[in-house]
Structures are given as C-alpha cells and as structure tokens.
Amino acid sequence: KAGVTQTPRYLIKTRGQQVTLSCSPISGHRSVSWYQQTPGQGLQFLFEYFSETQRNKGNFPGRFSGRQFSNSRSEMNVSTLELGDSALYLCASSSGQETDTQYFGPGTRLTVL
Amino acid sequence: KQEVTQIPAALSVPEGENLVLNCSFTDSAIYNLQWFRQDPGKGLTSLLLIQSSQREQTSGRLNASLDKSSGRSTLYIAASQPGDSATYLCAVRPPQGAQKLVFGQGTRLTINP
C-alpha cells in the first residue's frame, strides 16, 4: 500500500498571506488528523476529519481550518499567516477506530517571512 | 488535561548497548500508547502500539511496556546501532478525542560508532 502523502513538501510565504496544504491518506483510511510541530511547542493536534466531518479540534485559532473530500483526501488552510505559524505540518491517517495505529506523512515545512 | 513527559531529553550511548527510553503520562485513562521515531526534518514512523489492556509489545530489537496504573511506558532497544539515532516520541490517545494523540517532547538518541 502507498503511504500517506503530503503536498507540497516545502512552502515559503509572507505574513498576511494564506496557504493550503494537502494530505492523501492510505487507501481505505477514512480518518485524517493534522498536527503542527515546532521546536518550542512540540507536536500539537490541530483537528481530525472522518468521513468528511470534523470530529475533533485542538486549541488553535480560527485562522486554521480544514476540510475532507469524499475520497478522504484532506486539505488544511491557514489564513492571515503569522511568523509563529512557521512549522512542520504533519498529517496522520487511520481507519478511524480508537485502537488503530496512526500513520504519518512526511510533512510540509512552512516558513513564514 | 493529559500531559506526557519524556526523560531524558537527549541520550548518547556507544554502539551495541541496550538502552531504555522513558515516557510518563498524567491521566491513566487512555485507549493506547504509541511509540514513534522521527529522523531530522522528516515525518513520524510508527514503531509500536500498545493497547490499554496490554502490558507490552515487541518488534525486532524493540520492546515497549505499559503500566497504565502508574502512568508509565518504556521503550527498550537492544544492541543499539548507529542507524537507531533519531528522536523517539511517545504519544497517548485519551478516551475522549477520537484520533487525537497527545505527544511527549521526545528523546533525542545518538548512537556512537
């Protein structure tokens, strides 16, 4: 099976711009979760989508949003970028059961200048 | 609020040694605990998943144990190799929160040839 794919792998944006990141889960997986990783805060949960519905949400401002399509692919959008949004954004794929392993993609490195 | 702690933050050992990485969590109400490996600038690779009803899991030279009542997990690496050098992260899945994982800050492991 192909693994989790994320595009693009690298992005450079300026403050105030918006950005969209994409995640394609493992075939058959219906759950996609997003995480932000920074040196200071570590890995923090952003939100999870399951069957096109947001099922859980972390403590991030409304500038961070997402959606999931019928083929389970997910996109994450960040509007009005701030310097502090510079991070590695990781998505994780699973079947959606609480007992399942989560499989992570390679991440998108976002740099905000 | 669930909090996960990993000690030490960094560890350097000579090749061939057996070693133990520690993970502790504040709330024993978890679905499972997962150990990951992360190479610099890369995504997370799942190593082992222990369900809340299990005591340990093994994969090759890796063995993870879970003591839910005391809020502790250990990852044992036998006969360490330079290729084991990476950051090791543990994460717990709380019962409320669907696919959300709560991560520790990780242990950066260096195996010296």
**Residue B1 has what pLDDT?**
84
pLDDT digits (tens, 9 = 90+) for A16-49: 999 999 999 999 999 999 999 999 899 999 999 9
Which residue of chain B has the CA closest to A59? Answer: B100
| Cβ–Cβ gap A101/B49 under 8 Å | yes
CA distance A17 to chain B (A): 24
**Residue B22 has what pLDDT?**
97
pLDDT digits (tens, 9 = 90+) for B39-76: 998 899 999 999 999 999 999 999 999 999 999 999 99
Do A75 and A20 meet the contact criterion of CB atoms below 8 Å apart?
yes
Cα angle A29, B98, B48; round to 5: 70
Give mean pLDDT, residues B11-38. Answer: 95
Contact residues, chain B, for A4 at CB < 8 Å: 43
Instruction: Single out the residue of A73, A76, A80 nearest to residue A65, CA to CA.
Output: A76
B35, with CB counted inside 10 A (0-12, 13-18, 19+), is buried
